[in-house]
Amino acid sequence: MCKKNFLTFVFSVCMMAMCWMPMNGQNSANRGDVDDDGSVNISDVTELIDYLLSGDPSRVNLEACDVDLDGSVSISDVTVLIDYLLSGNWPASPYEPVIETYTVGSVTFDMLLVEGGTFMMGGRVDIDPYVKPWELPVHQVTLSDFYICTTEVTQALWRAVMGTSQNPSWFTSANGYTNDFNRPVEKVTFAKCQSFITKLNQKTGKTFRMLTDAEWEYAARGGKYDHGYMFAGGNDIDEIAWHIDNSGEVTHAVGTKMPNELGIYDMAGNVGEWCSDWYGLYTEEAQTNPTGPLTGTARIVRGGSWGQGWRMNRVTYRREGIPNDDNVNVGLRIAMSVQ
């Protein structure tokens, strides 16, 4: 169907629906008020279609014509405007990340604001046949706002904070590493990570910390912008993660795969990430800002790694990490509460 015929069809549908469309939908920001008369109604659809057919801007407010807020005026704006008149609700505004940047020595890192909310935590048995018993039961979790580092802690940041490298014994050019310190830190015990965070806070005057298990899953899912993917940012594991089948059995520089819905990198693959919670099984009770069991023998590790298959990179997969284990598959990502 050509553009003109499509728009004519849309106009016909609009005219038939006029008898029950809300005719005085107000919009304080002028969004959709194409004819600039102070209200959003069927006449705005008519004028928008006329503009798209004729290209004559003399009768429209061009700024108000960008109804879907994508920076241009097209047929999609007609669709969004009609949907608004039928439902009374505008679609969510485009996601605009809020980022704070910090520097230690010559190394910078970005902390992204994750808007809190309520979500269903745990394995998605309806779409994922590989859910494990320790990913269940699904339960409601409500989280406050928090900040998360957009990447895993790098070798460079570790060196800047600790004054020494924390490199695996095979950090050599023969194993593909050379001196690329943008790779994630690994072989770090839980205690070493806590020491790193303490020194980082001393250098910055901030209160960085580890993510909780719930915060990790919420951020990996995309927070309020969750699209329901199996992995953090998509359903194609190769697009978003360095895993056993594409890594060459080494880590890679952070941020070199696609980010998730919030703009966070490597929440699947590269290295797993320590969380602050003691390991424990879920319960069905709804929780607010959960921090896990009071005691335990193992901590939560999230995120899969370069040396693990796609099943362990699923967004809901969690596993036990022995606190004094300096595993080559495990690193760190930092968080910070909103003060």
Contact status, residue 317 vs residue 131, Cβ threshold 8 Å: no
Distance between CA atoms of residues 278 and 190, nearest Å:
11
> Is it the case that residue 125 has pLDDT exceeding 90?
no
**Region 99-126: what's the mean pLDDT?**
94
Q: 138 Cβ partners below 8 Å, 6+ apart?
A: 120, 121, 122, 123, 124, 125
How many angstroms from the chain centroid is the CA of residue 62? 32
- CATH code, residues 3-87: 1.10.1330.10
Return the CATH class of domain 99-337: alpha beta
Residue that wins the pLDDT comparison between 232 and 4: 232
pTM: predicted TM-score of the whole model, two decimal places: 0.75
Using alpha carbons, select from 269, 156, 277, 263 the residue that is nearest to residue 219: 263
- Computed on alpha carbons and rounded to an integer, the radius of gyration of the chain in Å comes to 25
At residue 18, the pLDDT reads 38
> Is it the case that residue 22 has pLDDT exceeding 70?
no
Q: 215-245, pLDDT tens digit by residue?
A: 999 999 999 889 889 999 999 999 999 999 9
Which range is most confident: 28-32, 122-126, 268-272? 268-272
Q: Locate the domains of the chain by residue range.
A: 3-87, 99-337
> Is it the case that residue 86 has pLDDT exceeding 70?
yes
pLDDT band at 129 (very low <50, low <70, confident <90, very high): confident
Q: Is 214 left (phi over 0), alpha (psi -120 to 50) or beta?
A: alpha
At residue 68, the pLDDT reads 82
